[in-house]
Amino acid sequence: MTKISIIVPFYNVEGYIEKCIESLISQTLEDIEIICIDDESTDNSKDIVLKYAKEDKRIKLINTKKHSGQSCARNIGLEIAQGEYIGFVDSDDWVELNMFEKLYNRAKIDDTDITMCQSYLYDDKTQQSYTNDYYDLKELEKFGENVFSPKDTKNEILKINIVLWNKIYKKDFLKRINVRFTDGYIYEDLPFFFETYLKANKVNILWESLYYYRENRRYSTMQNCNKKVYDRIPMVEKTYEILKQAEFFEEKKIDIISWIIDDIFHRYTLLDNIYYEEYYNRMQALYKKISLTEEDKEKLKTSYCYEEFCAILKSSYYEFWTFLIEKYKSTNKRIKAAEHKCNLDIIAIKDYLEQYKKEAKEEKERIETWWQNHCEEEKNKVIEIERENFSKEKVQVETWWQNHCEEEKNKVIEIERENFSKEKAQVETWWQNHSEEEKNKAIEIEREFFKKKQEEIEFWWQKHCQEIQNDYKKQLEEQKEYYEKKFLLVRITLKICRLIEKAKNKIKKIWIF
């Protein structure tokens, strides 16, 4: 079995990858495999690694299907690693030539799950190397060459260097706890460290600086993460959930919460202005998830950022910056806070104007909608009233006409009956005074006359009835014309309403703008 698998994810590091690979292929421990995962580089990084891979069979070049970040690349490396131990190296860093031999030998002697070493910091701008207590693991000096467990370091747990690259992990141990990096996030080493460290049985330290960590590199992930700065919050939250499973959590609860509060807020102070508000909202959401008793709150007052923590819990983003100006009024930090507060004031005014325009537009639309509905309602009311009046008047006219026709008909019949009776009496009287012959002639003449007279009367009656009927039709037509004119008046009224509505809209537009 290969002794150590070294996982090296890389992306656009053509100026640094060569030095990194040279330091690995020149290791004094030769029984290693170097797993290089190309995260879809767009520069010559892949070609450089490919050149080395052709010359050294220990190098395995793997390509991701798309640009997915270091987390995904490292998970790919974990899946294919064949070594007894696993180490990680960042593609822009390099290591001492005996680093992995020394780490491996120390791990084998003590049969540890995790073995750590010290490291150098290399400033890419000044080209100088240096160390500090954090990377020198000063908090763990008391253990010396001894093996220890996470429980032994409960007081130092939050001060241990959490980076991946100054450690090697026993593969069987990683497989047993089934640990993976969180895909799609940076700061992924934070939860990975605590999940592995807290589950380790045995840990030891090689007290030598063997790793060179390059900082202040242009275009590095940590220098150019843009919106990925927000990843710190979910990664810290995940770490908090991991720490809650530790057997010493209740004992160190306040220290852990204090560390979370300070870490999240410290990152906030390092951001560019464009990330402040979104980061603040996410930070506030995380802080509100932390469950605290009154006793916890009292103990937490020793936290460096306790005042900020309390302010964030109850303040809006705008109010929080007012708080910062007041707190930092005696320090240089006040200048930066005041400048940002001024920018917030400008943004607030713009937001107010935008809100005013939005509300004015909504009010205008509401009035227009009401006016349309009101006009429609009034129109329907007028039409309904006119329809009812027309129906009533129509019934009245028809009733009157029927009664009038019947009366006129009866009058005519009565008059004609009286005239006929009178004429009949006259004829009978005359007839009595004449001879039988004359009587017969008269009867014949009268019969003819009566017949003609009857025809005239019938003709006259038909004509008279026709005239009466025409008068009735004429009156109906006049009534119809009257109601048509009245309905036309209603339509004209509605059209005037619409013209008034348009005029009002124009007046409102002029008023608004």
- The tally of domains found in the chain comes to 2
pLDDT value at 64 more than 50 = yes
Q: Which of 183-192, 304-313, 451-460 has the lowest mean pLDDT?
A: 451-460
Q: Report the chain's terminal Cα–Cα distance, integer Å.
A: 80
Distance between CA atoms of residues 411 and 404, nearest Å: 11
Q: Note the pLDDT tens digit of each residue in 140-158.
A: 999 999 999 999 999 999 9
> In this structure, is residue 343 part of a structural domain?
no
C-alpha closest to that of 254 among 194, 299, 304: 299
Which of the pair, 263 or 102, is modelled with greater confidence?
Answer: 102
Distance between CA atoms of residues 259 and 240, nearest Å: 10
pLDDT value at 50 more than 50 = yes
Distance between CA atoms of residues 295 and 162, nearest Å: 30
For residue 435, what pLDDT band results from cuts at 50, 70 and 90? low
Q: Give the pLDDT mean for 448-462.
A: 80
Structural domain containing residue 488: 389-512
Distance between CA atoms of residues 122 and 93, nearest Å: 9
The sign of the dihedral angle between the CA atoms of 29, 30, 31, 35 is positive
pLDDT recorded at residue 225: 47
> In this structure, is residue 263 part of a structural domain?
no
| Residue that finishes a domain, picked among 224, 243, 260 | 224
> In this structure, is residue 141 part of a structural domain?
yes
| Residue that finishes a domain, picked among 224, 254, 278 | 224
**Site of tokens 């009311």:** 381
DSSP strand pairing (167-170 vs 85-88): antiparallel
C-alpha closest to that of 301 among 341, 261, 247, 335: 261
C-alpha closest to that of 312 among 334, 336, 287, 292: 287
pLDDT value at 332 more than 60 = no
**Site of tokens 């798309």:** 66
Q: Give the pLDDT mean for 87-113.
A: 96
Q: Which helix or strand (DSSP H or E) is residue 427 part of? A: helix 333-432
Q: Are 149 and 203 in contact (CB under 8 A)?
A: yes
Distance between CA atoms of residues 443 and 441, nearest Å: 5
C-alpha closest to that of 205 among 158, 159, 137: 137
Q: Note the pLDDT tens digit of each residue in 192-205.
A: 999 999 999 999 99
- Per-position b or e across 426-464, b if 16+ CB within 10 A of its CB: eeeeeeeeeeeeeeeebeeebeeebeeeeeebeeeeeee
> In this structure, is residue 319 part of a structural domain?
no
Q: Note the pLDDT tens digit of each residue in 340-391.
A: 445 544 444 455 556 666 777 777 777 778 877 877 887 788 788 878 877 8
Q: Which of 182-196, 297-311, 319-333 has the lowest mean pLDDT?
A: 319-333
- Per-position b or e across 55-79, b if 16+ CB within 10 A of its CB: eeebbbbbebeeebbbbbbbbbbbe
pLDDT recorded at residue 334: 38
> In this structure, is residue 142 part of a structural domain?
yes
Bridge partners, 36 (sequence order): 8, 61
> In this structure, is residue 306 part of a structural domain?
no
At 513, which amino acid appears? F
Q: Are 174 and 86 in contact (CB under 8 A)?
A: yes
| Residue that finishes a domain, picked among 224, 241, 266 | 224
The number of beta carbons lying within 10 Å of the beta carbon of residue 47 is 11
Q: Which helix or strand (DSSP H or E) is residue 73 part of? A: helix 70-80
Q: DSSP letter at 436?
A: H
Dihedral angle computed from the Cα positions of residues 177, 180, 186 and 188, in that order, rounded to the nearest 10 degrees: 10
DSSP strand pairing (4-10 vs 85-88): parallel
Distance between CA atoms of residues 281 and 513, nearest Å: 36
> In this structure, is residue 371 part of a structural domain?
no
Dihedral angle computed from the Cα positions of residues 183, 189, 193 and 194, in that order, rounded to the nearest 10 degrees: -70
Backbone angles phi, psi at 88, to 5 degrees: -125, 140
* Helix, strand counts (H, E) of the chain: 14, 9
Bridge partners, 206 (sequence order): 117
**What CATH number should be reported for the domain holding residue 56?**
3.90.550.10
Q: Note the pLDDT tens digit of each residue in 262-301.
A: 888 888 878 887 888 899 899 999 999 998 898 988 888 8
> In this structure, is residue 235 part of a structural domain?
no
Q: Percentage of the chain surpassing pLDDT 70?
A: 90
**Site of tokens 């059209």:** 495
CA 328 to the chain's CA centroid = 35
**Site of tokens 């020198």:** 136
pLDDT recorded at residue 338: 45
